[in-house]
Amino acid sequence: MDWIVQHLWLVPALPILAGGIIALLKQRHRVLAASLAIASMFLSFLLSLGAFVHLLSLGHGDGARMVVNFNWFQFGSEWVRLGWVLDPLTAVMLLMVTFISLLVFIYSVGYMAEDENSTRFFCFLALFAGAMLGVVIANSLLLLFMCWEVVGLTSYLLIGFWYANPKAAAAAKKAFIVTRIGDLAFFLGMAWLYAQTGTLLFFDGGAGCLERSALTALVAHTTIFGLTVSTGIGLLIFCGAAGKSGQLPLHVWLPDAMEGPTPVSALIHAATMVAAGVFLIARIYPLMSADIASLPALTPTVALQVVTWVGAATALFGSLVAVAQFDIKRILAYSTVSQLGYMMMGLGVGGVSVGMFHLITHAFFKSLLFLGAGSVIHGCSGEQDIRRMGGLRKFMPITFATYACGMLALCGFPLFFSGFWSKDEILHAAFAWSVSRTPFFMGAFGALLTAFYMTRQLCYMFAGSSRRAQISPMPAHGGHAAGDICHAHSPHESPAVMTAPLVILAAFAVFLGLIGAPSWPWFQSFLGGEPALLNFGAFSGVLPLMVASSLLVFLGLGLGWLLYHRKRIEDADARDALEKIQPDAFSVLGHAFYIDKLYDATIVRFNAALAYICDWLDRWVWSGAVQAFSYLVLALAWLDNFFDSKVVNAGFDAGCHTVSRGGRLLSFLQGGRVQSYLKMIGLALIVLVMLMLWGARA
Amino acid sequence: MTAFFLIVAALTIAGTAAAMSLRNPIHCILALTLSLVGFAALYLQLGAQFVGFTQVLVYVGAVAILAVFAIMMTRSANPPEGQSHQAAFSSSWLTGGAIAAVIFAVLAWCILSKSTPMQTAIQQPDVSVNQIGDALMHKFALPLEIVGVLLTAALIGAVILAMPERRKTL
Amino acid sequence: MTPDTIDQIFVIAKHWLLSYTPAPLQPVVSAALSVAPILGVFPLLFAITTVLERKGLGRIQNRYGPNRVGPYGFSQPIADGIKSLTKEDIVPRTADQFVHFLAPLLLVMAAFLAYAVLPIGKNMVITNLNAGVLFFFAVGSMVELAVFMAGWSSRSKYSLLGAMRAVAQMISYEVPLVLASIVVIMASGSLSTVAIVNQQANYTSIWPHWFVFTPWGFVGFILFMIAATAESNRSPFDLPEGESEIIAGYYIEYSGFKFALFFLGEYLGMFATSGLAITLFLGGWSAPFSFLTWVPSYVWFFAKLLALICVFIWVRGTLPRLRMDQLMGLAWKFMLPMTLLNIVTAGVWHFMPAGFVRWLVCTALLAAPFALLSRGLTQGGKKLQLRTYRFAE
Amino acid sequence: MSPLNAYLLLSALLFSIGLTGVLTRRNAILVLIGIELMLNAANLNFIAFWRYGPNPAALTGVMFAIFSIGIAAAEAAVGLGIILAVYRHTKTTDLDQINTMKG
């Protein structure tokens, strides 16, 4: 086996090690900390590059999957086995994650320059990168789950990085808890899978849980509603994926997560972590697509249908809500939600390659957009409300250019921008989907909206004249790094250390799409494992759809331009153009369909009520009953005693005493004494044993 | 039913009874150590050498000393003249004793009424420490880890509990 | 008489005697025959040690030790014994009579029990227990109880303070003691003292395989001896008995023979721990060089024991007493981390290929933390200047 | 009577003696001690069953005893810590006086 495969563990180990060392450093060693993090990231980037090249040299076919498994520890008579795998999926993800993390690290050097906790920041970042890479290379669902949880933890820590700001703390908590809900289902699915197959390794020379033998065993039995076991497991695991990558019911944490530093939003909540959910589904795709019939590529199993519908709904929802946001980062967050929906949809309708292609391209242009937004925020001294920006083009040309590239890529501007190719792939697959065509229309409408809100945002931010002067100075974003430093300045371009990554990312955002164009589907074939060949004939099949989607994009751009650019936005406090047209709908969208409110009103409230009811029962009903009973007996005893001592001679006194003592004993039931409670336990034990013996008798 | 067993059993019972009945807490602890050593001797007689010595090491060496320290710190040994003649037993000791007695009766009845499955040829199983270590490292690795975590948590918890709590400054 | 027979002479004698006893009595007799020498030899060693200690301390402190009774004052212990026997046995009126009487007996009993697993010579151990080291520590933990009984039962502030100090100190130093001996158990893969010694009794060319001749063994030995000094309440860890602070610690209220018993118990404990140190690290009864194996094994054991005793005396005469916080600081801030690191090092040593690199790595693993940790102990270290002694002539 | 039954009877007796102490002593520390004794009685059962049980080669009983000894140590430490904490508030360890949870 090759060196790189044997030592693939170094890729996650290096950043984790760096994080561990940085954790010991003080704030005055910030330079050392940053350089450590960047150096470790660079090394693991080189390693993953090596792995990628090695895989390329290896050629195609199923031979392009190398696995290293080892025993972790034994419990009972079984060994828990972990391992890592190197296959095209892993290689591509590794390359993407390491590269973007590297750029983001470099960017954060500039962004967090004035923060007083930057060493802590880099420690968390490095830890996150390591855990994420662990998720990518894991060959065991258990290992993947562990790294997955560490990723969740670091995301929590980083969202709440400015814990002094209560909003950030709340957002961190929210993110953590919501993702836990998904992870619970994930864990259940994992346990079920283990119970069924007896292994959690993905690939184990034919014995892994993703390989034919296990899958055939899984699809053999069916559970409730006639679902196959594989479907049940897949759906449970999909819940975890949905939690991580903000699919519809569990998306609520992602927009709030924007309280964190912007590099974090770029790295974790746009490029890598939220993509982990998609990656997970892509990884267990054989399980999702397993069907009673032998396993062709695109059988729309129930699991895949669920994935598709959820993805489509999320895509539409996210782009709808993004239309009506004013916070620059929230817009991007909702667009991320919708794009993740696209990925899921792609996985559902088009298989691994389609979804992964969009994942990769999206990772680049979305992190580009976030970093650009960060640069804007940095330049505007912590301002995040796009209504208070405007006219920034003159002040920060580089940012504008790169941001425009990212924006066009996200809209899917035809031919030259990566987003176009990947999104078109998904739409095409959805069009060809055998089950239903609704997802296609949802996705198409989502594409239109995407173009629209991105144009809106761009116009708000860069076009027109600056609206900062006229507004009363709002309190800068709580505890923001740059917030308190450069207040009074006019907007300024960011330092080179921040703009350089932007330029690099912009280049990728533009040209990355070409590796997956229908004419030369290199990426898909690389994932699929057959040679890629260049034929422009492929265009003919997809041409009408391409034209259609391009038209949609142009329509969206035109609408945006019409509403927001033809008539300049002069006044910061002026109502939004769309709001003028349709205020009610706008407010509904602006509040994200009130889903947060809904959750607060239902789940949270219900929980509190339940707790209160339990408390009330305990306080009044139970103890009340006990007390009432004891008082009753006491009263009886007292009555008896009274009557007796008054009327009859003292001969009965003893009896009364016993009765009253009985009352006192009963009142010990609630005596607040440990020992009386213990006595009750003892009595219960006696009764129990008696009953059991009786049962044994009969 | 060897004489050794009878002697040790008698000693253990005596120690336990004394530990639960003596008035002075320190005397109780000393009696307790007697009964714990008796337990250890019983383990040894049953051929569980490791457990027996661990028992002495942990209970006599740690738990008893810990209890003594607790008694010293709570000044419940030789109380001052004020309530020196306070009852050692709780006011409702009768019911407690009765319940315990009934439980013993029930248990004894269960034991004597049922004939437990016995291994046919009772040979002294000599279990070497190596076997125990091997089992701990392989078959019982997970419980071992869990116990380690538990002990760590207990350590931290005990320290925090015993720390003099300072009033809230924030 | 080959050297082998001389070496095994006691074992042979025992079997010879056993062969003349009726079968039913044999187990009892054999037990008695094994225990009796212990009961005889070690108190004698105690007597000799008292004289040695007093003379040595005297020399260190610039005076003659006891030199009146017998040749060079070597019958001093007999005089002391007679004195302590004839002295009145005082028991405080408020004391808890029973416990007060029981404490010294329990102490001495525990001290003697520890010898059951010490191999004094080849085939010369009372019982070869499968978990011998564990037994040793289990018995040793009884001493704390005896000390506490002594301090508490004689209702006196000083004795109670002394007992509390002693128990706290013993408990906190028992941890490093056990952890320091764990490395040997790891290396030899056995808890039986006999097996441990047999493993060390091999030679490459003339050098023995004593565990002390490895980095972890050496460090473990040093740590073990420090912890043992603290366990046996000897200077510089003699706070529980500091004459200047609490007159004699937990046995103020004892006099006469019980007092002597306490002394006996303490010294027996010291011998026992030294014996364990010899068994674990110094190769037990094995000879230091392969060409000296003709010397009987028990001779080597007692020679090593005497050497360690002399070290104890030397340390006692040299080092000043610690403060309570320094004591605890040493235990938890220095001993505990060092012992844990030592265990890690032993593991590394086990898994690395033999050779010079292994030595280098393990030494570095131990030296670097030592430098760091010991720096934390010297709080504001003052300059010590040389003193000029005037010797008694 | 078979030796196993003898051991079981003994452990039952010790268990109930410990229970008596738990139920009747006023001093919280002694109650804790009683609980320890009950645990030990249970351990004795484990060892006895291991020794006379069908299959002593599988060290289940011994392992159980070892683990429960460890857990008992943790329990004693935490319990005594709690008692000290309680004592700091209500200057007593008398369970008859610590009844502030009285309904």
List the single best residue of B129, B131, B136, B155 to mutate versus C (max C Cβ within 10 A): B129
Nearest CA among C173, C213, C181 for reference residue C334: C173
Amino acid C121: pLDDT: 87
Mean pLDDT for A197-211 is 82
Q: Which residues of B touch C134 (CB under 8 A)?
A: 50, 53-54, 57, 129
pLDDT band at B22 (very low <50, low <70, confident <90, very high): confident
Closest approach of chain A CAs to the CA of D67, in angstroms? 15
What's the rounded Cα separation, in Å, for the pair C16 and B37? 36
What is the DSSP code (8-state) at residue A472? Answer: -
3-state secondary structure of B116: coil
What are the structure tokens assigned to A161, written together? 């990085």
The tens digit of pLDDT for each residue in A386-420 reads 777 777 777 888 888 888 888 888 888 777 778 88
Query: What's the whole-number mean pLDDT along residues A202-223?
Result: 79
Three-class secondary structure of residue D78 per DSSP: helix
Q: CB distance from A672 to chain D under 8 Å? A: yes
| Percentage of the residues of chain B whose pLDDT score is greater than 90 | 22
pLDDT in the model for residue A533: 64
Of B42, B99, B101, which is closest to residue D6 (Cα–Cα)? Answer: B42
Banded model confidence at residue A607, pLDDT cuts 50, 70, 90: confident
Pick from D19, D23, D101: CB nearest A672: D101
Angle of CA points A36, A39, A44, to nearest 5°: 125
Neighbours of chain B (3+ CB pairs under 8 A): A, C, D
Residues A1/A68, Cβ–Cβ less than 8 Å: yes
C141·B53 Cβ contact <8 A: no
Average pLDDT, chain A: 81
Out of A383-387, B22-26, B150-154, C353-357, least confident range: A383-387
Q: CA torsion angle for A167, A172, A177, A181 (degrees, to 10)?
A: 120
Between A and B, how many residue pairs show a Cβ–Cβ distance under 8 A?
37
B135-144 mean pLDDT: 86
pLDDT beneath 70, residues of chain C: 1, 242-248, 376-393
Measure in Å the smallest separation between the Cα of D103 and chain B Cα atoms. 18
Chain C residues whose beta carbon lies within 8 Å of the beta carbon of residue B68: 148, 152, 167
pLDDT value of position A538: 65
pLDDT at A474: 45
pLDDT at D67: 93
- Beta strands A78-86 and A66-75: pairing type? antiparallel
CB B110 to CB A693 under 8 A?
Answer: yes
Among the residues of A138-266, which ranges form H helices? 141-159, 166-197, 212-220, 229-244, 253-256, 262-266
Q: How confident is the model at residue A478 (pLDDT cuts 50, 70, 90)?
A: very low
Residues of C in contact with B130 (CB under 8 A): 189-190
A471 confidence band (pLDDT: 50, 70, 90): very low
Q: A363: Cβ–Cβ under 8 A, 6 or more apart, which residues?
A: A96, A100, A270, A271, A272, A275
For chains A and D, CB pairs below 8 A equal 28
A82 within 8 A of A140, measured Cβ to Cβ: yes
pLDDT of the residue at B40: 93
- Beta strand C207-208 with A78-86 is unpaired
Subunit contact C134:B128, Cβ cutoff 8 A: no
Q: Is B156 on the interface with D (CB under 8 A)?
A: no
Domain boundaries in chain C? 3-374
Nearest CA in chain B to C149: B30
- The answer to whether A674 contacts chain D (CB < 8 Å) is yes
- B147 to chain D: which residues are within 8 Å by CB? 67, 70-71
> What are residue A67's DSSP bridge partners?
A85
Q: What is the pLDDT of residue C345?
A: 92
Closest CA to A625 of A669, A662, A681, A678: A669
Q: Please classify residue A625 by burial: count the beta carbons closer than 10 Å to its beta carbon, then call 0-12 exposed, 13-18 middle and 19+ buried.
A: exposed
CB contact under 8 A, B99 and A676: no
Beta carbons of A504 and A400 less than 8 angstroms apart: no
Residue A473: pLDDT over 60:
no
A439 contacts A345 by C-beta, under 8 angstroms: yes
The pLDDT tens digits for A228-285 are: 788 888 889 999 999 888 888 888 888 888 888 888 888 888 888 888 999 999 988 8
Q: At what angle do helices B64-73 and D60-89 cross, to 10 degrees?
A: 10
Q: Is A664 on the interface with D (CB under 8 A)?
A: no
What is the rounded CA–CA span in Å between residue A99 and residue A105? 10
Binning pLDDT at 50, 70 and 90, where does residue A646 land?
low
Which residues make Cβ contacts (< 8 Å) with residue D23, sequence separation at least 6? A675, A678, A679, A682, B93, B95, B96, B97, B99, B100
Q: Cβ of A74 under 8 Å from any chain B Cβ?
A: yes
Does pLDDT of A134 surpass 90?
Answer: yes
**Nearest 5°: phi and psi at A496?**
-65, -35
- Per-residue pLDDT, averaged over A631-639, amounts to 82
Q: Do chains A and D touch (3 or more CB pairs under 8 A)?
A: yes
Contact call for residues A268 and A376 (beta carbons, < 8 A): no
Do D24 and A675 make contact, defined as CB atoms within 8 angstroms? yes
- Chain B neighbors of D13, CB-CB under 8 A: 13, 104, 108
Categorize the per-residue pLDDT at A423 as very low, low, confident or very high, splitting at 50, 70 and 90.
confident
SS3 A84: strand
Q: What is the pLDDT of residue A586?
A: 74
- CA distances to A590, B42, C149 from D52, rounded to whole Å, are 74, 14, 38
CB contact under 8 A, A679 and B110: no
Structure confidence at residue A698 (pLDDT): 65
Pick the residue from chain B with its C-alpha nearest to A74: B138
> For the whole model, what pTM was predicted?
0.73
pLDDT the model gives residue C1: 66
pLDDT of res. A667:
61
- The pLDDT tens digits of the residues spanning B102-116 come to 889 888 888 887 665
Q: Which of A626, A627, A671 lies closest to D99 in CB terms? A: A671
Give the confidence band of D16 by pLDDT, cuts at 50, 70, 90: very high
Alpha-carbon distance values, D96 to A623, A672, D27, D88 (Å)? 20, 9, 9, 17
Chain segment A173-182, per-residue pLDDT in tens: 989 988 988 9
pLDDT score recorded for residue C137: 92
Instruction: Tell me which residue in D19, D22, D103 faces A672 most closely, judged by beta carbons.
Output: D103
Q: How close A232 comes to chain B (CA, Å)?
A: 29
According to the model, what pLDDT value does residue A475 have? 42
> Would you call B133 an interface residue with chain D, using a CB distance cutoff of 8 Å?
no
Give me the percent of chain A exceeding a pLDDT of 70.
Answer: 85
Which pLDDT score, from 0 to 100, does residue C393 have? 52
Q: Which of A148-162, A240-254, A457-471 has the highest mean pLDDT?
A: A148-162
Residue A151: closest CA among A201, A188, A101, A87: A101
Mean pLDDT of B75-80: 59
CB C176 within 8 A of CB C335: yes
Range of lowest pLDDT (A295-299, A489-493, B68-72, C360-364): A295-299
- Look at domain D3-90 and name its CATH class: mainly alpha
Ordered DSSP codes for A504-547: HHHHHHHHGGGGG-TTS-HHHHHHHTS-----THHHHHHHHHHH
pLDDT band at A611 (very low <50, low <70, confident <90, very high): confident
Q: Which of A73, A77, A675 sits opposite B96 (nearest CB)?
A: A675
Whether B67 shows a pLDDT value over 60: the answer reads: yes
What ranges do the domains of chain D cover?
3-90
Average pLDDT estimate for A339-344? 91
Closest CA of chain A from B33, distance in Å: 24
Q: What is the pLDDT of residues A527-562, one digit of tens each?
A: 766 666 666 666 666 778 888 888 888 888 888 888
Q: How confident is the prediction for chain B on average, in pLDDT?
A: 81
Kindly determine whether residue D22 and residue A670, on different chains, have CB atoms separated by under 8 Å.
Answer: no
What is the chain B residue with the closest CA to A691?
B106
DSSP B119: -
Q: Which residue of D has its CA nearest to B2?
A: D3
**What is residue A483's predicted lDDT score, i.e. its pLDDT?**
40
Q: Which residues pair with D94 in a beta bridge?
A: D27
For B143, name the nearest residue in chain D, comparing CA atoms only: D67
- The encoded tokens of residue A644 equal 């007796």
Interface confidence, given as ipTM, is 0.70
Distances (CA, A) of A593 to A55, A175, A599, C199: 46, 19, 11, 77
Please report which confidence band the pLDDT of residue A571 belongs to, taking 50, 70 and 90 as the band edges. Answer: low
At a CB cut-off of 8 Å and minimum separation 6, what does A105 contact?
Answer: A34, A37, A38, A41, A122, A125
Mean pLDDT of A477-496: 55
